[in-house]
């Protein structure tokens, strides 16, 4: 007799829609499916974009965002939350209101600027990240540019990344992962800092322009692995391995910076 499989981990992405399918909610749901989780979404904004540029961004009414989150938490339940593009300070504020007192581990990807061009969060929204959302996160995952903005110091080396991580950690999250993909070099270093230690992860840089959605995919993969019961270190390690393969197997779609292959392990 076949034994019944345990139910999948339930993961919620609070993020923007990327109609080109490479980043945002679309990337998050593909990542969740590929890694065996049950994916759900609260959409914060619509973006109209292809691999070359972003043509338009429309942020949803804050009440619409709150209603999506509450409706899901109150019925199905959520084992981990990934937060991505928030658009503006109003949406960021209502997400903070909605999640206050909610005891679900949150991975906060501090999305600010699209590589394709365009602000994905306004100036006041960055202040809300710093004062309200970062303090309630289990893990914050800034790239070096976002880490520089959040910490107020330039971030162009591993030593800078560590200093920035310390400054961001002092804002109150459980841990910070500063990603070094935008720091030049043959090797990429990411540094994970928590209150009692640190880990540095290293990988060989893949020379490609097809990296759109890498940050979204990494943060979501970490959220999935946390929801599946892994510790922070193992969740980050496994998520990096998954993202590395997804970049390596990128299909090369479009004339600009194209998407990853989220399902590379099953092809």
- Name the site residues for ligand PXL (rule: CB under 6 A): 15-16, 18, 23-24, 47, 49, 84-85, 111, 114, 116, 120, 213, 215-216
65, 91 in Cβ contact below 8 A? Answer: yes
For the question of residue 241 being annotated catalytic, the response is no
Q: Is 216 a catalytic residue?
A: yes
Q: Rounded to the nearest whole angstrom, what is the least distance from the CB of residue 24 to ligand PXL in the complex?
A: 3
Pick the closer one to ligand PXL by CB: 94 or 111: 111
Question: How far, in Å, CA of 186 to CA of 203, rounded?
Answer: 9
- 229 belongs to the catalytic site: no
Question: CB under 8 Å to 231, separation ≥6 — which residues?
Answer: none
CB of 46 to ligand PXL, least distance (A): 9
Residue 27 CB, nearest approach to ligand PXL (Å): 8
User: Minimum CB separation from ligand PXL for residue 254, in Å?
Assistant: 13
To the query of whether residue 172 is one of the catalytic residues in this protein, the response is: no
Q: What is the separation of C-alpha 169 from the centre of its chain, rounded to a whole number of angstroms?
A: 17
16 is catalytic: no
Helices within the chain (DSSP H only):
24-34, 62-75, 89-99, 123-128, 134-136, 144-151, 158-169, 214-227, 232-248
Nearest residue to the partner ligand PXL, using Cβ: 24
Q: Nearer Cβ to ligand PXL, position 30 or 194?
A: 30
Distance, in Å, from the CA atom of 260 to the CA atom of 253, rounded to the nearest integer, reads 9
Among candidate residues 16, 84, 215, 258, the one labeled active-site is 215
Q: DSSP letters of 36-98?
A: T-EEEEEEEEEEEE-SS-EEEEEEPPHHHHHHHHHHHHHHT--SEEEE---BSHHHHHHHHHH
Please name the residue that has the structure tokens 């970490």.
Answer: 222
Q: How far is the CB of 44 from ligand PXL (least distance, A)?
A: 8
Instruction: Single out the catalytic residue among 31, 211, 217, 220.
Output: 211
Tell me which of 16, 84, 181, 213 is the catalytic residue: 213
Concerning whether 187 is annotated as a catalytic residue, the answer is: no
Catalytic pick among 216, 217, 220, 258: 216
Closer residue to ligand PXL in complex, CB, 84/105: 84
Catalytic residues: 179, 211, 213-216
């Amino acid at each position: 007799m076949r034994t019944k499989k345990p139910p999948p981990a339930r993961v919620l992405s609070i993020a923007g829609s990327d109609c080109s399918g490479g980043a945002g909610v679309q990337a998050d749901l593909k990542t969740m499916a590929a890694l065996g989780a049950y994916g759900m979404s609260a959409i914060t904004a619509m973006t109209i974009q292809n691999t070359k540029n972003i043509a338009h961004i429309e942020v949803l009414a804050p009440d619409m965002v709150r209603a999506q989150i509450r409706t899901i938490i109150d019925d199905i339940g959520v084992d981990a939350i990934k937060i991505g593009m928030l658009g503006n300070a109003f949406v960021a504020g209502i997400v903070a209101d909605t999640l206050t007192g909610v005891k679900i581990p949150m991975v906060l990807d501090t999305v600010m600027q699209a590589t394709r061009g365009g602000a994905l969060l306004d100036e006041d929204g960055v202040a809300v990240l710093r004062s309200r959302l970062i303090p309630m996160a289990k893990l914050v995952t800034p790239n070096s540019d976002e880490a520089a903005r959040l910490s107020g110091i330039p971030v162009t080396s591993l030593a800078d990344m560590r200093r920035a991580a310390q400054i961001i950690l002092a804002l109150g999250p459980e841990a910070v992962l500063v990603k070094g993909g935008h720091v030049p070099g043959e090797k990429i270093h990411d540094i994970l800092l928590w209150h009692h230690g640190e880990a540095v992860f290293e990988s060989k840089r893949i020379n490609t322009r097809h990296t759109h959605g890498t940050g979204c995919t990494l943060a979501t993969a970490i959220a999935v692995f946390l929801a599946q019961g892994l510790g922070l270190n193992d969740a980050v390690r496994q998520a990096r391995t998954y993202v590395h393969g997804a970049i390596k197997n990128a299909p090369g779609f479009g004339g600009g910076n194209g998407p990853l292959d989220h399902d590379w392990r099953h092809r």
